[in-house]
Amino acid sequence: MPRVLDLDALVERARAGDPRSVGRLITLVEDGSPRLRELMAALSDSAGRAHVVGLTGSPGVGKSTTTSALVRAYRATGRRVGVLAVDPSSPFSGGALLGDRIRMQEHATDPEVFIRSMASRGHLGGLASATPQAVRVLEAAGCDPVLVETVGVGQSEVEVAGEADTTIVLLAPGMGDGIQAAKAGILEIGDVFVVNKADRDGADQTARELRHMISLGMSGEPGAWRPPVLKVVASRGEGIDALVAALDEHRGWLASSGMGDARRRQRARTEIQGIALAALQARFGGVGSGDVLEALAADVAEGRTDAFTAADRIVASVAG
Amino acid sequence: MPRVLDLDALVERARAGDPRSVGRLITLVEDGSPRLRELMAALSDSAGRAHVVGLTGSPGVGKSTTTSALVRAYRATGRRVGVLAVDPSSPFSGGALLGDRIRMQEHATDPEVFIRSMASRGHLGGLASATPQAVRVLEAAGCDPVLVETVGVGQSEVEVAGEADTTIVLLAPGMGDGIQAAKAGILEIGDVFVVNKADRDGADQTARELRHMISLGMSGEPGAWRPPVLKVVASRGEGIDALVAALDEHRGWLASSGMGDARRRQRARTEIQGIALAALQARFGGVGSGDVLEALAADVAEGRTDAFTAADRIVASVAG
């Protein structure tokens, strides 16, 4: 006889900081378990407990190394730390994740550090759906901060900024001069910019160009946050204390300016919309008899109708 | 008295290849004009005329230079070419676009080349909504191929692959070793891989690692497409003829395998869903009296309810 999952007991143990229970709850999130709604209802009062720090940048800038150095710094002050490493899911991700695990290995046996890799693809809206739910689990388990590390530039960075209280954008010398950073659309999303591998040639110039581009984009409003540009060598832990100080300073600014609440409301809005849209989208396939969407797609692909007319039919049948 | 837009005349001139009319139609697409539905209905029979080639890669790998070299090669065979450069919109994008324009300048006065930069942000689903519509305009104008260049790794790359018949993934030596490429999730989306700047150290190794990673991911099914890995020096035009040949070969494979039709149907499906979801989402804000979504978001952010319960209320009020 299969055992029925005792969700209440699992939640209770996770709240007490039991790593195995936390892991099982995040698996429920990742799998989109039928019990997910119940879980989220049970955890709703934990919303907003932790400082959620997003960390993003192109492949190769040293995200995992920097995350690991941050974990070390936070642990030195006695804080319980959660880490979500969000990877695009891929048949190849086994290899990539292995690399992460090696870099994070020094924390693997620390019961006060919760590390979890998550796939981002397959969820409607990428990060939007599963990440806030996994963050909620880590908040309930008493983690503060929760670090959310994600790969890539462009859309996934914009998304990580949507999920975090504070977003770190990581660059490396020679990979991210000002124009390239602007082109990648990352200047507006960073609350704190970090030039990693600052012992390499070009670090000063990259930092200078970044500061210049950031100053061009500043509104100049009084009380606005001015994103600092820090230089670190994460592999040796250099500059990490200053980074932690900058993160704490931003957290203070979020609280005093009211922006923290505004960002959390925006995040909740995105989460609700994502779930609502997924629920509506799930109805598209089954409209009428047979797969109407499939037939309409063939009509559009072969030029018999246009996508707006096709969408009208879908909307009418779902929403009346 | 403001002149009423004569859409039929504009469409007729665009079909004849008048650059100014093509530009005005793409502006209608980009602005989400109220006449957009009418325009798309008028152009629906042009769907699928062109070979749509997506080109993507991290900032700095030489996307614009490669696109420009491809345009030159296609022009040498007398074909009319469309180029959409999709950029994340940004207060800083003026500078970034300037760089593109400089690289594409040699084609600026060629009446058989249609180049357009488009912002991707702000549309539901990023690329999903406006790009296929702009592609449709260029197809109607007789462009073949239509090149769609986009920035970034991760979500935007996955999206460009969704929009294209054939997707080129561009890398540069030292920026994209195999594991990093796998981590960025780009291995599954490339139909043709290009190592640009192949005169630099490490190009052979990058190409070798890519081939190895690709072979690990191959299903081994008979008749499956095996993505080639080509080395080019786009700035000097080296290897571009081989790239054009590879694109033509993939186009042939799409036709003979039936995968071309399948991809176009999938693309239409995504476009219809995007429009339908945007239409449904537009109803969220106005549910009941006042902004119900805003109030629900505050409830979730402050722990009074969870996102699923909030989403239920939104869905119920929209879809009954």
What secondary structure does DSSP assign to B48-90, as a single string? Answer: T-S-EEEEEE-TTS-HHHHHHHHHHHHHHTT--EEEEEEE---
Residue B96 is encoded by which pair of tokens? Answer: 């970034």
Determine the distance in angstroms separating the CA of A239 from the nearest CA of chain B, rounded to an integer: 25
Of B60, B155, B266, the CB nearest to A126: B155
Among the residues of A218-291, which ranges form H helices? Answer: 240-257, 259-284
Are A90 and B188 inside 8 Å of each other by CB?
Answer: yes
pLDDT tens profile A14-59: 999 998 999 999 988 887 788 888 999 999 888 889 999 999 887 7
Strand, coil or helix: A118: strand
Mean of all residue pLDDT scores within chain B: 81
Of B47, B272, B303, the CB nearest to A311: B272
- Mean pLDDT calculated for residue range B283-296: 68
Half-sphere exposure of B164 (CA within 13 A, CB side): 29
State residue B91's pLDDT score: 30
Are A185 and B121 inside 8 Å of each other by CB?
Answer: yes
* B104: confidence class by pLDDT, cuts 50, 70, 90: low
From CA A300, how far away is CA B269, in angstroms rounded?
8
Strand, coil or helix: A168: strand
User: Contact, B64 vs B149, CB < 8 A?
Assistant: yes
State residue A175's pLDDT score: 56
Sign of CA dihedral A320, B125, A281, A24: negative
- B180 CB neighbours in chain A (<8 A) are 59-60
* B151: confidence class by pLDDT, cuts 50, 70, 90: low
Are B156 and A151 inside 8 Å of each other by CB?
Answer: no
* B288: confidence class by pLDDT, cuts 50, 70, 90: very low
- Cβ-defined contacts of A32-39 (< 8 Å, 24+): A32/A130, A35/A5, A35/A7, A36/A133, A36/B308, A37/B306, A37/B308, A37/B309, A38/A7, A39/A7, A39/A11, A39/A133, A39/A137
The four Cα atoms A161, A163, A165, A170 give a dihedral, to 10 degrees, of -40
User: Contact, A193 vs A63, CB < 8 A?
Assistant: no
Are B93 and A183 inside 8 Å of each other by CB?
Answer: yes
Residue of B nearest to A214 (CA): B92
User: Contact, A61 vs B187, CB < 8 A?
Assistant: no
Strand, coil or helix: B304: coil
> Which has the minimum average pLDDT: A261-275, B5-19, B122-136, B139-153?
B122-136
Q: How far is CA B62 from the centre of its chain?
A: 17
The answer, yes or no, to whether ipTM is higher than 0.85 is no
Interface test with A, best of B277, B283, B305, B314 (most A CBs within 10 A): B277
Are A152 and B151 inside 8 Å of each other by CB?
Answer: no
From CA A32, how far away is CA A17, in angstroms rounded?
22
Closest C-alpha to A161, from A278, A263, A256, A58: A263
- Mean pLDDT calculated for residue range B60-77: 92
Burial class (CB in 10 A: 0-12, 13-18, 19+), B300: buried
The verdict on domain A48-257 having CATH code 3.40.50.300 is yes
pLDDT tens profile B199-234: 999 899 989 988 988 888 776 778 889 999 999 999
From CA A243, how far away is CA A167, in angstroms rounded?
12
Q: Where in chain B is the domain with CATH 3.40.50.300?
A: 48-257
Of B175, B188, B277, the CB nearest to A91: B188
User: Contact, A209 vs A178, CB < 8 A?
Assistant: yes
Q: How far lies A139's CA from each of A7, B293, B306, in Å?
A: 17, 24, 14
Whole-model pTM: value is: 0.65
Residue A250 is encoded by which pair of tokens? Answer: 């931003």
State residue B320's pLDDT score: 61
Question: Between A193 and B320, whose confidence is greater?
Answer: A193
Residue of A nearest to B279 (CA): A315
Are A60 and B175 inside 8 Å of each other by CB?
Answer: yes
Are A307 and B175 inside 8 Å of each other by CB?
Answer: no
State residue A181's pLDDT score: 61
Q: Give chain A's largest Cα–Cα span.
A: 65
Of A90, A284, A309, the CB nearest to B273: A284
Q: Which helix (H) or strand (E) holds A169?
A: strand A166-171
Instruction: Give per-10-residue mean pLDDT for chain A (320 aa).
Output: 80 94 89 86 89 87 92 95 73 36 68 80 48 91 93 55 86 67 70 94 90 80 90 96 97 95 87 81 60 86 88 79
Residue B135 is encoded by which pair of tokens? Answer: 């592609």
Tell me A105's DSSP state.
G
- A268 CB neighbours in chain B (<8 A) are 296-301, 307, 310
- Mean pLDDT calculated for residue range B85-90: 60
> Which has the minimum average pLDDT: A174-188, B71-85, B132-146, B271-285?
A174-188
Phi first, then psi, for residue B300 (nearest 5°) are -70, -45
Phi first, then psi, for residue B148 (nearest 5°) are -115, 110
Task: State yes or no: pLDDT of B248 exceeds 80.
Answer: yes
Determine the distance in angstroms separating the CA of A306 from the nearest CA of chain B, rounded to an integer: 5
pLDDT tens profile B297-318: 899 888 888 888 988 888 887 7
The helix, strand and coil proportions of chain B, stated in percent and rounded to the nearest 5, come to 55, 15, 30
